[in-house]
Amino acid sequence: MNTEKITVRVTETRQTLDVVVFSKRADVIEVVIGEGIHNVKCALTPTRNGLAYAGTVMGREIVYERSRGQVQADIEKLNPVMRKPSRR
């Protein structure tokens, strides 16, 4: 199984973290921070201007610095079947 990882930034310290993507949609990205029994899930939602995704985990804000359009393009590139609706 191929796990997708993205780089997020902790806003307080400007530190970058590589996190594992649990699920990815244009309206929310769920990521897992940590490994084993010490992992924590976090939901990243688009910001008001749509230029990034933000969420909080254990009181810290993390930001994924890609726009909603870029994430949608990534999703379509990984799974081209999702883009074409089927006729009924």
The count of residues in the chain is 88
**88 occurs within a structural domain:** no
Report residue 64: phi and psi, to 5°: -105, 115
Domain total in the chain: 1
- Using CA of residue 12, residue 40, residue 30, residue 3, what is the dihedral sign? positive
Instruction: Give this prediction's pTM.
Output: 0.84
Residue 82: pLDDT band (50, 70, 90) is: low
DSSP string, 33-45: ESSGGG-EEEEEE
**38 occurs within a structural domain:** yes
What's the pLDDT at 15? 94
51-74: pLDDT as tens digits: 999 999 999 999 999 999 999 998
9-45: pLDDT as tens digits: 999 999 999 999 999 999 999 999 998 899 999 999 9
What's the pLDDT at 32? 95
| Domain, as residue range, for 46 | 5-83
Query: Is-contact 9 63, C-beta < 8 A?
Result: yes
